[in-house]
Structure 1
Amino acid sequence: MEADLFTAAAEERQEKEPAGSPLAARMRPRTLDEVVGQRHLLKPGSPLRRLVGEGGRGPAGPSSVILWGPPGTGKTTLAHVVSRATDQRFVELSAISAGVKEVRAVIDGARRATGGFGKETVLFLDEIHRFSKAQQDSLLPAVENRWVTLIAATTENPYFSVISPLLSRSLLLTLEPLTDDDVRDLVRRALADERGLGGTLTLPEESEEHILRVAGGDARRALTVLEAAAGASLDKGDGEIALTTLEETVDRAAVKYDRDGDQHYDVASALIKSIRGSDVDAALHYLARMIEAGEDPRFIARRLMISASEDIGVADPNALPIAVAAAQAVAMIGFPEASLTLSHATIALALAPKSNSATTAIGEAMADVRKGLAGPVPAHLRDGHYQGAKKLGHAKGYVYPHNQADGIAAQQYAPDALKDREYYTPTRHGAEARYADAVEWTRKHLGRKRS
């Protein structure tokens, strides 16, 4: 009981004296209406609004909520808002440092608080995916008996990291990454709000953009950077948070890069041309510039996939699978770890043998089609499976290649207007040397004449 009274007193002091708390804590939303981002969870009548009593909460509300999303998207914030809106005790544990003993102590305290003070408890368990199965099992009695309202947070897929009995008893809410506009709103609110910097400093646009790039969609990180830069600016006696001060504070230079302007396209073009030119070091430089500037990793991955076919093609058949695998990995893990994947793919593509034969071949073929050089499909190649095809002579005379000794049937495949046209001109670079030998052999056996 003494511990509960001490906790309540500490919470009350924090409410009255927030100035000493970190900026991110002081600016923590008090209501759902103050939460930035997560609009899909904040619509009227949503499960989250019903959880805090808006629009009819239900007899007892859910006994467990799992918040799944990237770091800095508001999982801890939402847990605080729920406890505040429902006037419940708030206890926070981290699965990194807590174990079954600490969980049981919280549950025992919650039961005493309910019986002695009539006050229910919200248990916020951060990083629940770090709990073992046995540790997660220890939560089940408290959830089933509603001794606590469990709000668990995870950055990993709960279908793989949370035990089924707990997952089945929980309301799963998926948080989306914050956009730059979301983080910008939060930074501007912190600058003006009395709980934050109270209008004591201004933030030039270039400094604001640098904060957004450094934050990478993480609201907590954005406020931490803002607070550090504000302190340094006040120490200097400045009235604004200058870009130079911000760069000194976070030890990270601002990269001149406009994701919607010339720099976006110029640097992306330089990356691809460096890969095409096999300059792995230059390619890594431009990749680093894009990453540091906060470029969307999916955009970079798409450019690498295009490069794999446009500039490498069959000279290294592994290039495209590497680029595709990188794009899939990037979509799954995001930054900062995705920088390793993009580096892996960039190095592999830059050092691969180069060939644009696939690009040239399809370009010439499409050009002929646009000129009208198509013509009817030869009768022996047409579909002969439907009723009446035989009467039309379709598929008549077709030679099945697999029945031939060398696996090639010397028959005409292209329309008459293009029967001697050759689009594919292989190089002798890398693995394409094998394709060059193959195409020479097959064209000879097909009886083709050079156009």
Structure 2
Amino acid sequence: MGFSEELANEALTATGGNSTIEATEWIFSQQERPKNNNLVCRGSSSSPKSCNTNVQIQPKLDRFFQCIPIVQQQQEKPEPGSPLSITPSNNNNKRSKLSHSNNDADKQPLSERMRPRNIKEVLGQDHLLSFLGDCSDRRLPSIVFWGPPGTGKTSIARAISLSSSLYHFISLSAVTAGVKDVREAVEEARKMQKTKMKKTVLFVDEVHRFNKPQQDSLLHVIEDGSIVFMGATTENPSFHLTTPLLSRCRIFTLNPLQPHTILSLLRRAADDPDTGLYTSVPQGKSTRVEEEAFNFISLHCDGDARVALNALEMSAIIASIKATRENGSSCLVTLDDVKEALQCKHISYDRDGDEHYNLISALHKSMRGSDADASIYWLARMLQGGEEPLYIARRLVRFASEDVGMADPNAIFQAIACYQACHFLGIPECNVNLAQCVSYLALAPKSVAVYEALKAALNVVKESGGQNEGVPLHLRNAPTKLMKDIGYGKDYIYPPHNPDSSSSQTYLPPSLQGYTFLNWPPNTSNL
């Protein structure tokens, strides 16, 4: 429940229709006056107007005013720069529509407006552009673009199709699309081929979100040439795309953009008068950006062009607000504005994706190589990216046995203590416990003797070495008389009473006698 629609419309009309807060104040101000009193409403003509004050008070007023349609009875001119204009209605009983003064392009974020319009405008990914530029005027292969966010996967796919008049571009998102959408796109592609002799590029963003049946629906239309398929994914295609789909596509790997490439993108956005930074600033203020601000963004976006452009846009808006308060006609984007917009350095990290496994691999290999500095660096990268500390601690417990092992038996106690500390303290306090354990393990002597011994024994078991014979009778337990009569435990020598029995008593199956699994003390080659 809220204010009646009639009263809400009257309040918005009285206050000019630009602010729900003013409309709310107007309603409350009328409540303090006698009922059915003729009142002159703000923003209306000078003739008296009766205002209904019989209302129910509702605390969530702003939500109510944003949801109801507005009838403009006596419209004032909107203030300059106001983003909202109200279309008058000839019939007071009909609902009017809201229209925005900005066009659709102005509503898009800067990163979307600055997408390249052809392949020549693409910056970065030079290892791909020569090949893709040559393809734009002839038959394109089906392609899967694989790379981190903000590296140009969607932009390159769109730029390729826009660079040639031979192609029609259809874009789908695997997050919301399904087999039905793919079929509709294929039908449209076939009609385009018949009527306009144009091939269709079907681009599927986040294609790894498609399940197996959805991916299989693409196979036939790729093979018969109905479409040229292009997909974009941030996940490893080897794990997330089916083998039949991969066999029909070229895999192009995109790398994080270098700082100098990000700088070029930012300067292009700042200099573009049509779709660049100028259109992001309220009231079209002329905008300049300090060189320090450019450099800071390029170094703190982690190679992600989308993050960089969005940070530049937010910085410009912050600078514009400050300039408006000071009645300035232009605004200057400073380093402080950028820092306020970014808050912290953007770090590319996915706790379930490739970067997750890449970083834990880097940490493991750095400790194995006894490089404590590199180990602490990769640990810091994981923690700053939001990795679960208990996951790191579990990997350290494994490392203590796999790579340190018998060379320092205390390493396993250090790792377990670290895990317990992480469990007790949590993040961020446990970060120093992790750093201590990582340093200890990196500097500890290393031995893989236990790891290699277990691996060799497992191979023997899997390959049925020794025919996986039964346990020798003298090693079997004999808790009953029947078992003793069969021979269980017969001739077993009890080592505590016979210290020299190790030379005369055997423990392996007969076929594996003399087989060595654990090489300890180790030779130099096993260290």
TM range (shorter): 0.5 to 0.7
Deviation, 1:68, is 0.9
Q: Who is 1:187 aligned against?
A: 266
Deviation, 1:354, is 5.2
Q: Is contact 1:183–1:217 with CA below 8 Å preserved after alignment?
A: yes
Change (3 A) 1:289 1:79: closer
Q: Which has the higher Rg, Structure 1 or Structure 2?
A: 2
Q: Who is 1:232 aligned against?
A: 318
| One-letter identity of the residue aligned with 2:210 | F
Q: Percent identity?
A: 36
Q: State the alpha-carbon separation in 1 of the partners of residues 174 and 271 from structure 2.
A: 35
Q: Who is 1:73 aligned against?
A: 151
Which of the residues 246, 252, 255 maps onto 2:338?
A: 246
| One-letter identity of the residue aligned with 1:104 | R
Q: Who is 2:194 aligned against?
A: 115
TM-score (norm 1): 0.53
Deviation, 1:232, is 2.1
Q: Who is 2:408 aligned against?
A: 314
TM-score (norm 2): 0.46
* Higher relative contact order, chain-length normalized (CA < 8 Å, sep 6+): 1
Deviation, 1:341, is 12
| One-letter identity of the residue aligned with 1:245 | D
Q: Secondary structure at the match of 2:143?
A: strand
Q: Is contact 1:316–1:352 with CA below 8 Å preserved after alignment?
A: no
| CA deviation profile, 1:115-159 (whole Å, cap 9, x unmatched) | 233332211101111111110011112211222211111112212
| One-letter identity of the residue aligned with 2:112 | A
Deviation, 1:76, is 0.3
Q: Secondary structure at the match of 1:231?
A: helix
Q: Secondary structure at the match of 2:336?
A: helix
| One-letter identity of the residue aligned with 1:74 | G
Computed over aligned residues only, the root mean square deviation of the Cα atoms, in angstroms, reads: 4.6
Q: Who is 1:164 aligned against?
A: 243
Residue 30 (str. 1) matches residue 117 (str. 2) = yes
Which of the residues 131, 147, 167 maps onto 2:226?
A: 147
Change (3 A) 1:287 1:319: farther
Q: Which runs of 5+ in 1 are unaligned?
A: 1-15, 255-271, 273-282, 293-304, 323-339, 360-403, 406-437, 440-451
Change (3 A) 1:358 1:158: closer
Q: State the alpha-carbon separation in 2 of the partners of residues 196 and 126 from structure 1.
A: 24
Alignment of 1:244-393 (within 5 A): 244-252=336-344, 287=380, 291=384, 314=408, 316-317=410-411, 347-351=433-437
Deviation, 1:203, is 2.4
Change (3 A) 1:321 1:290: closer
| CA deviation profile, 1:74-116 (whole Å, cap 9, x unmatched) | 0000111111012222211111111111111111111122223
Deviation, 1:252, is 3.8
Q: State the alpha-carbon separation in 1 of the partners of residues 240 and 119 from structure 2.
A: 28
Change (3 A) 1:23 1:354: closer
| CA deviation profile, 1:267-295 (whole Å, cap 9, x unmatched) | xxxxx9xxxxxxxxxx99x9489959xxx
Q: Who is 1:333 aligned against?
A: none
| CA deviation profile, 1:233-266 (whole Å, cap 9, x unmatched) | 1232253212332233344489xxxxxxxxxxxx
Q: Secondary structure at the match of 1:42?
A: helix
Q: Secondary structure at the match of 2:203?
A: strand
Q: Who is 1:203 aligned against?
A: 289
Q: State the alpha-carbon separation in 2 of the partners of residues 230 and 36 from structure 1.
A: 23
Which of the residues 42, 46, 51 maps onto 2:129?
A: 42
Q: Is contact 2:133–2:160 with CA below 8 Å preserved after alignment?
A: no
Moved more, 343-352 or 82-91: 343-352
Q: State the alpha-carbon separation in 1 of the partners of residues 128 and 304 from structure 2.
A: 18
| One-letter identity of the residue aligned with 1:233 | A
| One-letter identity of the residue aligned with 2:436 | A
Q: Who is 1:215 aligned against?
A: 301
Which of the residues 131, 135, 138 maps onto 1:51?
A: 135
Residue 136 (str. 1) matches residue 215 (str. 2) = yes
Q: Which runs of 5+ in 2 are unaligned?
A: 1-102, 279-284, 324-329, 347-366, 368-375, 386-398, 417-425, 446-501, 504-519, 522-527
